[in-house]
Copies of this chain bind each other. A is one copy, B any other.
Amino acid sequence: MTHKTAILGASGYTGAELVRLIATHPGLEIAALSADRKAGMEMSEVYPHLRHMDLPVLKRIEELDFSEIDICFCALPHATSQAVISTLPASVKVVDLSADFRLRNLDVYEKWYGKPHSAPELQKEAVYGLTEFYREEIRGARLVAGTGCNAAAGQFSLIPAIKAGVIDLDEIIIDMKVGVSGAGRSLKENLLQAELGENWYAYGMGGKHRHLGEFDQEFSKAAGRPVEVQFTPTLVPASRGILAASYVRGDAVEIHAALQAAYADEPFICVLPFGQVPATKHVRATNFVHIGVVQERKAGRATIYTVLDNLTKGSSGQAVQNANLMLGHEETEGLMLSPVYP
């Protein structure tokens, strides 16, 4: 059975990635696309790489007819998402790719995002969208909150080790190296090719990156007590990908075993043989996650290396995976694309 899909905010990178994935998904069909500032344009004008597809014209959200829509992907900016989703008919299932429904505690939301939440009732019902850890809740959800891309990379690295009790919860440092598309298609000087070519540097330092809100919430929940990690991303001169290095105190073999056990049946997550490390390009443009565990020369110190594609598993691929569950499709449907290499 084919389900009708709407994508709100289709002119951003996560919107375009959703279109790419749904294009070859046998159970989903794109029935509506919105992009407020580009309403009236063809998607192929905004993204000529989608020229081969027969897609609905871009409209303003108010112009869309949701009566036959089964599922709506919201790839809207933070805060806008709350307002829009509040207006959608209850019959429409929603996967939100913004940060609006990720944080359970409204005060924490306000702390990280700087203003009160405008849809607290919706937030209560929302399910956190990291499929591998919330599979059953997602299956029955009406509203799923897609995770931050960095938040996903960190959680895949650490949740099983935290749950297994094999790492010191007070000594976790996550150093991520991320491609630039995570910042979206936004006109900022530091995102220019001339600025970023042959350039790399940390940002969001000092515990200021908003994905820390998700880490605090999910790591504490997994641990059963408050956990506050240290986390800083470094922007590298590339378009897509995240490599997370998690420096932990714990036995590397035990950590590896915990990850292997947790992910043994996961179709998208591959734990590498002990001591091997992953490369971002090995999962590029796919929903796959590769994880490696290394023993440091100091006894009791290990490092967990995790790669994923920020736009796919970190965002739009994850969203499709969740939609599959919500709609009763096979979880992997449309997502078994292999990486483009080289």
Binding site for B on A (CB under 8 A): 13, 16, 19-20, 23-24, 47-53, 173, 175, 177, 179-181, 185, 187-189, 191-203, 205-208, 212, 228, 230, 232, 234, 236-241, 243, 245, 247, 268, 270, 275, 277-285, 288, 290, 294-298, 301, 303, 305, 307, 336-342
C-alpha spacing A197/B194, complex, angstroms: 11
Say yes or no: A49-B283 contact (C-beta < 8 A), given A13-B194, A337-B337.
yes
Say yes or no: A180-B202 contact (C-beta < 8 A), given A230-B301, A237-B236.
no
Chain B residues near A270 (CB-CB < 8 A): 51-52
Chain B residues near A275 (CB-CB < 8 A): 205-206
Q: State the copy count for this chain.
A: 4
Chain B residues near A188 (CB-CB < 8 A): 187
C-alpha spacing A241/B340, complex, angstroms: 13
C-alpha spacing A214/B179, complex, angstroms: 32
Residue of B nearest to A197 (CB): B239
Q: Could you give 21 example pairs across A and B, Cβ below 8 Å?
A: A19-B338, A20-B340, A20-B341, A23-B336, A24-B337, A47-B341, A49-B283, A49-B284, A180-B193, A191-B194, A193-B196, A194-B342, A200-B243, A201-B243, A202-B277, A203-B277, A205-B305, A228-B297, A230-B247, A240-B342, A284-B340
